[in-house]
Every structure is written in C-alpha cells, then in structure tokens.
C-alpha cells in the first residue's frame, strides 16, 4: 500500500547529532465521474473526498447510498465510510498504525472486508458495515491481502502466498479452511455477476486481466489492451470491464470492454496521474457514476532532525 509520506536519502552530520532526509508527499483524492453507462462521461469530474493525506480504495455499498474508502487523514490508515455525495466521512476502524486498506462491501450490505497488518502479518478482516470490532478471517504466516466477495456474500476471495506463490484463494465468510482458486498466479479480482467466473490480475504492476471458473478449470486471458490490469483501476460489471490505462503517464484514460461485442470504448480522460499500487476505481450500482482516485499533489521536502538519538524535534527545511 502507498504511504502518503515516505522518507528516504538519509544522511548524518559529522557530529552525529543531526539527521537530514528527504520526505515525499503524495496527496490522493477521490473524484466522481458521471457516466452514461458505458457510453462515456456525462459531466465533468467532481471532487468528493479530499484531505492533505491520502484518500484511496473506494467501494460502493450495494444500495449506492454510501461508499467505503481507506484514508490516512487521522494519522494512520483506517477504513472510512462516507455518504455517496462525499458528505459525513467517518472512521469505521481505529487500528492506529499498521497498514490497512482495500475495503470491499459485501453484496448483502452488512459487512466490509479489508486487509491489515494490525497483528504484524497481512491478514483479511471483516467488520460490520455500521462499525464494531473487526473479525480476523484468515490466519497464516503467508501474505493474505486484497479481499473481494462472492455475489451471494458467502465467500471472500483474497490473494495469498500460502502456496509459495501469489494465488487467488477463497474462504467462507463465516471462517474456515481456504480453498485455492488459481494455479498460474493471481493477486486481486472480482467474481462475475452470475457467480460462474472469477476475474483477476496476477500481481502489482503486472498487465492482463484473466478469468477462471470458480469451481475449477483453466484460466483465460480476457483483456490486455493498453496493459489493462497493470494498475489497480478496474471494475467488473454485468456487461463488461471498466479499466484505466496510461500509455502516457500524465494523461490516464478510462476505457470500457463490452463483453457482448468485445469492443473497447473510451469513457473519459483524467487530468492528473493515477496511483499504481492502491485500488482506485469503483462503479456505482446503477452504473451512472465512477469513483476515481487521482494524484492531486506530489512533492518533497528536506527535513532535519535535531538530536535525533534522543528523539529531538524535526524542523522542515526547503
């Protein structure tokens, strides 16, 4: 997961009492693009969620009235919930430190799955949509990340290295023993609306979107146009796949693959860079709105820590 501030290039003074380093700032915000379904943008983008910190990973509730997202606005990454128009953002978790993100709303509207390093190892957790104490769904020394739900809310899919390589697994939403779904790589994805297939990408910054029958079978390459799936910006609908591409990094494009015709249509152009590492695209249940995370600010400062061995103050230097 992307941190909104990263420290790098440290150097220590000759007296060994000062530490200088570069600190980067990346500010991601959530925007809404009104659409005519798969026919293209219907209105200019509107900023819904913004802060001086990173706001990312949006996912609509099944009724379209709210959406969940990950944010570091409180000082650490937490899962938040907002009204569909961006109003009344409120924290759903209070983990307070470790990386936490990838919120996914269950189709029955009652729960939100997410991944977190809260207990030292990346695991999948589930929390009631109205809040409460998160419940750990997986427990393994391997990396368990990027959850999503089956359409009947009975299963949670996730990426895991428990087989030795990153593959897609699924586990009962009530808990139990996970079952491996993919054999040739799998990182993150979504079940088809008829529950027959699982669509997935194979890794961070790996192009291609694939599908495999959920009850077993061989994988099929579905989409590799403009390196679709390279970024975590794609969503499966009943009719096709929305996805973001950027042949030119500064000019991302939202496109749509129609399952029936196998044709690709451009939906919108984006006026800012996109993140490569965090989920950044969600479609409203009525198909009339896309949520998109874009990088609205990026820069860096040179920082100086005085008496850093004893926990001295940090002063910002330009």
Per-residue pLDDT tens for 56-90?
Answer: 999 999 999 999 999 999 888 999 999 999 999 99
Confidence class for position 315, pLDDT limits 50, 70, 90: very low
Q: Does the pLDDT of residue 9 top 50, yes or no?
A: yes
Confidence class for position 44, pLDDT limits 50, 70, 90: confident
Q: For residues 170-183, give the mean pLDDT.
A: 97
Complete domains list, the chain, with CATH: 5-317 (2.120.10.30)
Cβ neighbours around 139 below 10 Å, total:
11
Q: Does the pLDDT of residue 41 top 90, yes or no?
A: no
Higher pLDDT: 158 or 42? It is 158
Higher pLDDT: 26 or 183? It is 183
Q: Does the pLDDT of residue 93 top 90, yes or no?
A: yes
The two tokens of residue 53 are 């910190």
Q: Does the pLDDT of residue 305 top 70, yes or no?
A: no
Higher pLDDT: 302 or 70? It is 70
Q: Which range, 183-192, 265-274, 295-304, has the best average confidence (pLDDT)?
A: 183-192
Q: Compute the radius of gyration of the chain from its Cα atoms.
A: 20
- In the predicted model, what is the mean pLDDT of the chain? 87
Q: For residues 151-170, give the mean pLDDT.
A: 98
pLDDT in tens, 268-298: 988 888 887 899 999 999 999 999 999 866 5
User: What's the pLDDT score for residue 205?
Assistant: 83
User: What's the pLDDT score for residue 146?
Assistant: 98
In 64-217, beta strands by DSSP E:
66-71, 78-83, 90-91, 100-105, 111-116, 123-128, 135-136, 144-149, 155-160, 167-172, 179-180, 188-191, 197-201, 209-213
Q: Does the pLDDT of residue 179 top 80, yes or no?
A: yes
């Amino acid at each position: 997961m992307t941190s909104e501030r990263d420290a790098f290039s440290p150097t220590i003074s000759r007296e060994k009492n000062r530490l200088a380093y570069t600190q980067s700032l990346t500010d991601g915000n959530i925007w809404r693009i009104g659409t005519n379904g798969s026919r293209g943008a219907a209105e200019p983008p509107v900023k819904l969620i913004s802060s001086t910190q990173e706001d990312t990973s949006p996912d609509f509730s099944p009724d379209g009235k709210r959406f969940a997202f990950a944010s570091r606005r409180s000082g650490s990454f937490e899962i938040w919930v907002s009204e569909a128009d961006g109003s009344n953002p409120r924290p759903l978790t209070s983990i307070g430190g470790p990386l936490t993100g990838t919120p996914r709303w269950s189709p029955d509207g009652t729960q939100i799955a997410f991944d977190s390093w809260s207990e030292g190892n990346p695991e999948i957790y589930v929390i009631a949509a109205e809040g409460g104490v998160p419940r750990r769904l997986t427990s393994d020394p391997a990396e368990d990340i990027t959850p999503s739900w089956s359409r009947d809310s009975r299963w949670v899919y996730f990426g895991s290295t428990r087989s030795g390589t990153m593959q897609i697994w699924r586990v009962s939403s009530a808990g139990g023993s996970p079952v491996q779904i993919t054999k040739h790589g799998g990182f993150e994805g979504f079940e088809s609306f008829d529950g027959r297939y699982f669509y997935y990408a194979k890794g961070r910054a790996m192009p291609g979107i694939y599908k495999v029958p959920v009850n077993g079978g061989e994988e099929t390459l579905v989409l590799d146009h403009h390196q679709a799936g390279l970024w975590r910006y794609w969503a499966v609908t009943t009719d096709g796949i929305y996805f973001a591409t950027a042949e030119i990094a500064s000019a991302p494009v939202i496109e749509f693959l129609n399952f029936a015709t196998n044709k690709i249509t451009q939906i919108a152009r984006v006026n800012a860079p996109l993140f490569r590492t965090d989920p950044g695209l969600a479609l409203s249940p009525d198909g009339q709105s896309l949520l998109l995370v874009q990088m609205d600010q990026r820069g860096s400062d040179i920082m100086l820590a005085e008496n850093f061995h004893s926990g001295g103050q940090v002063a910002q230097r330009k």
